Structure 1
């Protein structure tokens, strides 16, 4: 019995030893003992590997056995070494030799061709689609690391407090932000993606751009156009694109032998000085005519990058099978400068454990492109030390340690108490434009006071007035919250006081579900889609005697509900009751005496020349009970699932919205009796190759019962009068009067806009540096009695600033032309 127990113990010990993993670690250097940063290190004939860090240090976790370990980086000769792991961690340093590409090796092969690089690339491009589609789908593990550093800073702008807060050295250098992520990535042609993030970690403040999912770093030069989220609104032509010879020249630098394969080094040379083009080198496997690796560069001077000055894209492919190669590592390395502050950094993606052409269950790709595990953000330091494939540098480890300590301290009662007062201090300048926000230290309760620009106003109906509005929000837990928004309004000229409240309860963030109720009294715009804000209407009224907005009085109550019934299907409905009263002008003040100018009546249908104190009839005092509902269908809706809810992403297909509104007669004294239905289809930011992106919206509708309805029940349009306009919504007009075209009949409106994203002006010297985006567009409207209203415009924009020049036509007659501007305020 004792011998049997000893034998079982021996077997268990042996099995445990065989299951034990040990570390293979070391440092990769070059011929001059310099660290070779980001060297790919992988087990040959496997899908398992890692990448060396900036110091050239690497680590692999391996079970006991003998392995052929390959070390590879662009510019160095690939090296494979046989390493045996026994019962302990193994240290193994590697010194790589510089790669020598010899043109003589291929001179005989291409002796009849004056441009051998072109010939090689024609063969590669001929097989581009085959390589793009050779794997129908795959699953793999992905590790993504991002680091943003301050490389130098002007001493005149860097105080001691800033240096300490950012942990900068004497030269103004330090890590601003770093992040890590471990995900399981699934892909199926043509573009189906589903990813699960199992671990995520951030430290510091992100000052540039971020890639929050592994699919953001899917670099595939076999696609015709290469897109870089966050750094450009335009795409970049791949050196392997089907029409690449229109944009690039290719030069064969030479060839070398790597593991029995001939690899050609090809220099990529843009044909034009400026444009969406790469420059650098790509490496091609002869015979297979596929990518071996890529080392390409984009520059702000040539390609109009945003945020950064240079971006280097590096990629390493490894053979998964004899006929299939997949990326082992991808790196985006960037540098830039702002106001004398020089920054840089990288995002590195490491791919492991490929499973090719797996059988995904039916419905697996359901639109959820990313799910973040509930425990992803709470992984311990020990977990990361055991699982991160890219070792931290000494600087990164120290930065994590310090910022983790700071983050822990910021959760203590002492710290929260100390910053509570400071955090809620009011800045009167920002309050004037953006409002004021305050919250308790746990951020479960918050208060927002609406901007002063929307609080103090003037119009010809109320005179000077105050519209005091605040919003209180309370977070019950991660999935439930509510907000209450009371408002008080008083006009000094008509001495009319209004008070109302909106309450919303959010009960299911995974289905975009909420209830709302509102009640009270208010002074409202007769155009229910809005005209000009209180701020702009005050300016136009007092400075130019243009009282564009027309008002009426409403005492109301209502409630409603919305919910996503299925992915991409959002339903909402509501019931509202109101008592509505016509209003008239009471105040006629102005700051300047504008010659040949007079205020207009508050009746938008009054003929031109009607005196401003007009009391003509527009509608009687009445009551209205209205039911409204809509369904929005977003085709192929993509979304991200976080522990706190579902977040929908823009779709590459149009969105269809169906609307219905019913005026219910006689119930509760309601006087209205009508039925209205409309449909609109829209899509925003459709990429059009290298030429920017387009947006459009089409809407059609009709009142198929209009027995009794009043002016505010008409269908209204988002028109514009005055020199300022709001271009953020595709569906607005540049010159259309606010009320003239409102209808109780059938209508059709169409809007189209294209943003060239700098593809034209980037070719003009000097102007190129301004990074202006060119815009063209057209708007169309046809209603009964007012057919064929149209507008055409051109413009330029930069960030929040935009200037358009356009012309409009009412029928065949020119109506209005001129400039329209936008500078961020609405």
Structure 2
């Protein structure tokens, strides 16, 4: 069929009009003309809607037509407006504070508040509401904002004024430090499978960064008995409608109102004990169905939360079909501070376009998150058209101002000028701090160690210098892979031995390759259980030389790769020429108690005798681990595999091969292990464990450095790794036959101490450790440790149970960051 030109133009014009969209916008206030922040706006009987911003302003883009628009906010009477949309319209809304009527219920003196009957019904229906939706998809918009509210000009020598000025904050060091928006397609399938695809991402102050906003991170579900909020609170928070909620909460009936023909009961939730991991605030329950209609909760420092002083969470629900209600918006607001710094901000997520009957292939959920390189390339016109929550004037200004800064920061001229300032070299500064020369534009980095921290002391070398330098360069920007090369040089001022080594790390496709060669003086225990710095302090001030050393000249190569999913494999081969060493220095600053240094042989502490004959070794180690996880996140830089909820199992085989390059060793060691950290134990905190066992299949020719070593501890300061002991000797219980070791740690996360006045304010976590080791020469050695932890600091009391000298007790201090 042939169209005439006028008829073709008519069709084009008609199609254009049909595809045109208009915007309803305005401001939502209360009866006192105060803005109602983050109110919800939805089209009746749909899941299409938006949210107002923090100043009550909203905007909703729609096709031409007639719409029933619902405006609502928790604690306010809902308003409905019928709007005929054929042009952009401004519709300001005033929401009246909701008046909740009391039911005709007579409460006798000492009688139960009506709220309890409602909550019991909600608890009874909790499981059915939790499981009523088998799968769904939706679109999620998230906006996150964090502001610095107060800060000192300087902090511990750091120029805060300069740093905040470079970040675009005002002269009083106040302003937005993080502003980001994102749009995601979110998919869920019972019981816990999720997939999220980042559709668009915008970060103020960077044209290259991707938003940290994740729909899965901001999701809450109060139909679950407990809320696990990661680093914010080590203790899980109890839902006000959990199965055991009556043990934790008191309830007060405020009244009821009617919305959309439904009766909504407002109930105040109050923790029975102020310091329990519980919420305070209001929950709104729909009668008859006994589901959550909305909630407005908060928690404070009393709940032992980290980083913030107060956290508010608000959630509103929308009816998607006759059987299901889903979240329409979730908002987190927070304020907090540390020392002289104060921060505040919010995250809000808006949900729309629910599909409760999607068709999924389970394989889709192997990928939990997808972020494509195109997602942060959307321009301002796209965001002006798609953004459901309008920007405030402050947010508009921040985007505009920081866009100029971002363009400047990403230019070669700016990066070179910044490097020129920061790359200034000072020999005086190098004595106490490392030097880093940076070429940001070409992604090249040169590092020189600080001189003074490189000086150590041990009784084998005396004072010694172990100085290093390295170079790294990004060789693949898409996968963020780096080439790393470095060298170290050492000298012992007492034994006059010169040492040196070189190393390199090279990514090659899916492999990570390593190369090392040189001459080093190293710990007899390959776990290096006592650091050279700590040993220096104990030697010079206490005249206790715990570290025992030997010399090796060596060449080694390594390779590792991911086979698939949670299956990893690595290989390591080393040739080494090894020599026993003796003490060469008797120096110390002090000598409390007229102590004598012990020899460098841990088995003959009163006289130096060679621990092993000089030898050469060639060994090959193969290791594989599997953590039962095939889930991953995809980023422009590549995949990041996620840990499994199941334990990780490992298998290691080491072969000492005689005759190769003069090797004197001949042994086979087969070992297996299983471990898992931070297993959620509900209100009882987190559990971690490690179990390992091994056997030398043959030990025809073996020397002490080839023995199976353990991470012991003999000093006040200890490690905090799960597979370390509190009291075990560093060297004397190594084995060349067989072994089994086990470690169990329970972090109660304040379950007990939070119930004790005054102590609860310290936010201490109770720690219980049980460690076990058995070898043919050390049978059933057991340790029990109890203590407390605050952030990365740990104080423990440990006691060992065995026989004779193996029975011991001591205080231990652990530090980890």
Q: TM-score range by the shorter chain?
A: over 0.9
Mark the CA change 1:128 to 1:429 in structure 2 (over 3 Å): closer, same or farther: farther
Q: 1:428 to 1:197 in 2, by over 3 A?
A: farther
The alpha carbon displacement at 1:562 in A equals: 0.5
| Deviation for aligned residue 1:151 | 3.8
Change (3 A) 1:626 1:454: farther
After superposing the two structures, state which structure 1 stretch, 170-179 or 792-801, moved more: 170-179
- Tell me, in whole angstroms, the C-alpha distance in 2 between the residues paired with 1:347 and 1:431: 43
Please name the residue that 2:260 is paired with. Answer: 259
Task: Report deviation, 1:603.
Answer: 1.7
Which residue pairs with 1:245 in the alignment?
246
**Structure 2 partner of 1:686:** 679
1:583 and 2:581 matched: yes
Give the drift of 1:651. 2.9
SS of aligned partner of 2:553:
strand
Q: After the TM superposition, which of the residue ranges 577-586 and 673-682 deviates more from structure 2?
A: 577-586
Aligned to 1:770: 762
CA distance in 1, matches of 2:194, 2:422: 41
Q: Which residue number corresponds to residue 309 of structure 2? A: 309
Corresponding residue for residue 622 of structure 1: 615
- Deviations, residues 132-191 of structure 1 (Å, cap 9, x unaligned): 111111111111111112345679999976775565568765222211111111111111
Give the corresponding residue for 2:71. 71
| Between 450-459 and 430-439, the greater mean CA deviation after superposition | 430-439
Q: Which residue of the partner structure matches residue 536 of structure 1?
A: 534
Identify if the C-alpha distance between structure 1 residues 3 and 810 changes in structure 2 by more than 3 Å, giving closer, same or farther: closer
Q: Which residue number in structure 2 is paired with residue 551 of structure 1?
A: 549
- Please give the per-residue CA displacement for 1:102-132, whole angstroms capped at 9, x wherever unaligned: 013x538999973211101111111111111
Counterpart of 2:634?
Answer: 641
8 Å contact from structure 2 (residues 456, 465) kept in 1: yes
- Segment of structure 1 superposing worse, 751-760 or 397-406: 751-760
| Alignment of structure 1 residues 375-386 onto 2, 5 Å | 375-386=374-385
CA contact (8 A) 1:458 1:465 kept: yes
TM-score (normalised: structure 1): 0.93
Contact preservation (8 Å) 1:43, 1:67: yes
Deviation at 1:429, TM superposition (A): 11
Q: Distance in 2 between matches of 1:531 and 1:162?
A: 39
Match of 1:664 in 2: 657
Within 5 Å, which residues of 2 pair with 1:235-634?
235-300=236-301, 302-366=302-366, 368-425=367-424, 435-442=434-441, 444-450=443-449, 452=451, 455-478=454-477, 479=479, 480-508=481-509, 513-606=511-604, 608=605, 610-611=606-607, 614=608, 616-634=609-627
Q: Which residue of 1 aligns with 2:705?
A: 712
Aligned positions, number: 808
Contact 1:76 1:96 in 2 (8 A): yes
Question: Distance in 1 between the 2:616 and 2:364 partners?
Answer: 52
- For the residues of structure 2 that align with 1:559 and 1:161, how far apart are their CA atoms? 46
3-state SS, counterpart of residue 204 of structure 2: strand
* Higher mean C-alpha displacement, 768-777 vs 125-134: 768-777
Match of 1:738 in 2: 730
Kept in 2: contact 1:787–1:811 (CA 8 A): no
Distance 1:33 1:819, change over 3 A: same
CA distance 1:733–1:155, change in 2 (3 Å) = closer
Runs (5+) with no aligned partner, structure 1? none
CA change 1:505–1:326 in 2 (3 A) is same
* Structure 1 position 194, deviation (Å): 1.2
Residue 35 (structure 1) aligns with:
35
Distance 1:595 1:12 in 2: 99
Q: Kindly tell me: are residues 575 and 150 of structure 1, through their superposed partners in 2, closer, same or farther at Cα, counting changes over 3 Å?
A: closer
CA 391–812 in structure 1, closer or farther in 2 if over 3 Å, else same: farther
Q: Secondary structure at the match of 2:750?
A: coil
Please give the per-residue CA displacement for 1:371-419, whole angstroms capped at 9, x wherever unaligned.
2111223322222222221110011100111111111111234422332
Cα distance, 1:579–1:164 mapped onto 2, change above 3 Å: closer
**Residue pairs, 1:176-215, within 5 angstroms:** 176-203=177-204, 212-215=213-216
8 Å CA contact 2:144–2:213 kept in 1: the answer is: no
Task: Answer yes or no: is 1:47 the counterpart of 2:47.
Answer: yes
SS of alignment partner, residue 82 of structure 1:
strand
Q: Name the SS for the 1:230 alignment partner.
A: helix
- Relative to 1, partners in 2 of residues 1:57 and 1:444: Cα closer, same or farther, differing over 3 Å? same
Give per-residue Cα distances to partners, 1:402-456, cap 9 Å, x unaligned.
1111111112344223321332357999978884433113251112334557511
Gaps of 5+ in 2: none
Measure the CA separation in 1 of the matches of 2:357 and 2:434.
53
CA distance in 2, matches of 1:483, 1:156: 35
* Structure-2 change in CA distance of 1:425 and 1:3 (3 Å): closer
Deviation at 1:765, TM superposition (A): 2.2
Q: Deviations over 1:664-704 (max 9, x none)?
A: 12122221111111111111111211222111111111101
Deviation for aligned residue 1:43: 1.2
Q: CA deviation at 1:467?
A: 0.4
Q: Distance in 1 between matches of 2:767 and 2:451?
A: 33
* Residue 163 to residue 506, structure 1, CA distance change in 2 (3 Å): closer
Cα gap change, 1:428 to 1:365, in 2 (>3 Å): farther
TM-score when scaled to structure 2? 0.94
* Cα-Cα RMSD: 2.6
Match in the other structure for 2:148: 150
Does structure 2 conserve the Cα–Cα contact (< 8 Å) formed by 1:515 and 1:562?
yes
Render the CA deviation track for 1:474-502: whole Å, top value 9, x for unaligned. Answer: 11221342101211111122221111111
- The answer to whether the 8 A contact 1:788-1:811 is kept is no
Flag the 1:211–1:763 CA change in 2: closer, same or farther, 3 A: farther
User: Does the residue aligned with 1:530 lie in a helix, a strand or coil?
Assistant: coil
Contact residue 296 and residue 315 of structure 2 kept, 8 A:
yes
Q: Is the 8 A contact 1:453 1:534 kept in 2?
A: no
Give the aligned partner of residue 25 of structure 1: 25
8 A Cα contact 1:673 1:706, kept in partner: yes
Residue 780 of structure 2: SS of its match in structure 1? strand
Q: Which moved more, 1:712-721 or 1:582-591?
A: 582-591
Are 2:783 and 1:791 equivalent residues in the alignment?
yes
Deviations 1:504-528 (A, max 9, x none): 11234xx5x3011111111111111
Is contact 2:335–2:344 with CA below 8 Å preserved after alignment? yes
Shifted more, 744-753 versus 210-219: the winner is 210-219
- Contact 2:205/2:406 (CA < 8 Å) preserved in 1? no
Match of 1:135 in 2: 133
Q: 2:99–2:257: 8 Å Cα contact kept in structure 1?
A: yes
Q: Is the 8 A contact 1:454 1:467 kept in 2?
A: no
Three-state SS of the structure 2 residue aligned to 1:787 is: coil
Counterparts of 2:131 and 2:645 in 1: how far apart (Å)? 21
User: How far apart, in 1, do the equivalents of 2:693 and 2:187 lie?
Assistant: 41
* Separation in structure 2 between the aligned mates of residue 451 and residue 792 of structure 1, nearest angstrom: 40
Distance 2:592 2:107 in 1: 84
C-alpha deviation, 1:604, in angstroms: 2.1
Partner in structure 1 of residue 113 of structure 2 = 115
CA contact (8 A) 1:454 1:534 kept: no
Contact in 2 for aligned 1:316/1:330 (Cα 8 Å): yes
The 3 A distance-change label for structure 1 pair 204 and 769 is farther
Q: How does 1:722-737 map to 2 (within 5 A)?
A: 722-727=715-720, 729-737=721-729
After superposition, the C-alpha distances for 1:38-91 in whole angstroms (9 at most, x for unaligned) are 0111111112111000111111121111111111101111112111222x3222
The alpha carbon displacement at 1:802 in A equals 1.9
